[in-house]
């Protein structure tokens, strides 16, 4: 299954609705939970979660350091041509961009 297929299968409208209507209590509960679901993510980015940004940032930092340690990674794409099969909207090389290949 491709990323696009997976993405299109997400219940996006329901998640947006959940984010719009989440309570502060739900956002706090999602911040404390160990394994965050999509519903928890919706709570965390909801307007009700605005006051939890500092705590959310600390949790994010802890998780990042747990998984990757204190490192800085740099990625440098190496382009051999300007042809690409993908269609990233921000990229000048994207498939549908009518440039000379």
Number of residues interacting with ligand SF4: please give it, by CB under 6 A.
Answer: 6
Q: State the Cα–Cα distance between residues 63 and 54, nearest whole angstrom.
A: 14
Asked whether position 91 contacts ligand SF4 by CB under 6 A, the answer is: yes
Q: State the Cα–Cα distance between residues 46 and 23, nearest whole angstrom.
A: 8
CB of 79 to ligand SF4, least distance (A): 7
Q: Virtual CA dihedral for 61, 66, 71, 72, nearest 10 degrees?
A: -50
Which one among 72, 75, 86, 98 touches ligand SF4, defined by CB under 6 A? 86
Binding residues vs ligand SF4 (CB under 6 A): 84, 86, 88, 91, 93-94
């Amino acid at each position: 299954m491709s990323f696009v297929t997976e993405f299109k299968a997400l219940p996006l409208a329901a998640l947006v609705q959940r984010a719009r209507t989440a309570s502060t209590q739900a956002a706090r509960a999602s911040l404390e939970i160990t394994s965050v679901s999509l519903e928890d993510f919706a709570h965390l980015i909801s307007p009700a979660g605005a006051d939890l940004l500092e705590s959310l940032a600390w949790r994010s930092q802890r998780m990042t350091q747990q998984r990757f340690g204190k490192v800085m990674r740099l990625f440098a794409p190496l382009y051999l041509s300007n042809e690409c099969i993908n269609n990233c909207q921000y990229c000048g090389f994207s498939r549908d961009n009518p440039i000379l290949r």
